[in-house]
Structure 1
Amino acid sequence: MSEPCLKMVLVTPEIPYNTGAIGRTCVALNLELILIKPYGFSLDEKAVRRAGTDYWKHVHLTEFDSWQHFVNDRKPPRDSLYFFEEHGAQSVYEPEYQENAYLVFGCESAGLPAAILDGMDDRVFHLPMRNPLVRSLNLANVATAVVYQAMRNQLGA
């Protein structure tokens, strides 16, 4: 099995089902899942395992105690970070995703902390929604749509 290139990063996820579903997507695509604490649940919860089904044990999972620990350990280049927020200035279809991109998503109720996004306006993207009646989309659905777009972009499809 080859080493994952794209990485999914969940900052303080709150809903175990979303984390489990994203974990299953990561297994399907051979991606690393990076979780930033604190979580709104325990990774041992049945809901995480249920959403990840029997694939959870195959998730290439890395955990960090905080965003700063992640940054200090990984030292990601600025242009490898792609933040996804409901009100990002750019669409997910605009960037050319780097091979070793970090696709970063915030918690379900509040998104990404302002401190993480500070000075990163050009690195914040949104998934377009055509109907203004919808306030937001499910985190697992957005993460899946984004990762497939990033892969499509990398393949030049």
Structure 2
Amino acid sequence: MHIVLHQPEIPQNTGNIGRTCVATGTSLHLIEPLGFRLNEKEIKRAGMDYWEKLDVTRYIDYEDFKEKHPGAKIWYATTKAKRSYTDVSFGMDDYIMFGKESAGIPEEILVDNEESCIRIPMGHDIRSLNLSNSVAIVLYEALRQNEFKGLETEGELHRLHWKE
């Protein structure tokens, strides 16, 4: 899977998303301009020691991203979409794009790709969810649809034997 952040603004969100990507074996794609420098301590703090393990690629702009991924299936997460993220079928090589925290994905991109726009249902009085939460919600649905391929799906309890 691939997560694409279009001009993210808040380093802590990007750090959290990077950590989620490492935990799920997902690639992260960052479309500039970024609202921060990648060496900022907020990114490292949110991403913890996982940041060095992250498969991350940067792009000058949206056109640069599109040129480097011709024919890629891209889902555009937006509050302006007509259908829910649960109503589509995600493939393991799909890209899921999220926009910047203050404005989302630019309207012209959404209009050109309306059939690939998806949303997370929420109440009428809420403008949007936190970016890192939105990424986690949609990414885990995409991974669930693909049977969490490559991920550990079972844990193991270590039972302690207490003396009576």
Q: TM-score, normalised by structure 2?
A: 0.86
Deviation, 1:120, is 1.2
Note the 1:94-133 alignment, pairs <5 A: 94-129=87-122, 131-133=123-125
CA distance in 2, matches of 1:155, 1:18: 26
Note the 1:57-136 alignment, pairs <5 A: 57-77=52-72, 80-129=73-122, 131-136=123-128
Q: Does 2:57 align with 1:45? A: no
Matched residue of 1:93: which SS? helix
One-letter amino acid of the counterpart of residue 92, structure 1: Y
CA distance in 1, matches of 2:37, 2:81: 30
RMSD (Å) for aligned C-alpha atoms:
1.2
Corresponding residue for residue 11 of structure 2: 16
Contact kept, 8 Å, 1:96 with 1:154, in 2: the verdict is: no
Identity over aligned residues, as a percent? Answer: 38
CA distance in 1, matches of 2:4, 2:114: 18
CA distance in 2, matches of 1:62, 1:76: 18
Q: Which has the larger radius of gyration?
A: 2
Equivalent pairs, count: 148
One-letter amino acid of the counterpart of residue 39, structure 1: L
Q: TM-score, normalised by structure 1?
A: 0.90
Structure 1: unaligned runs, 5 residues or longer:
1-5
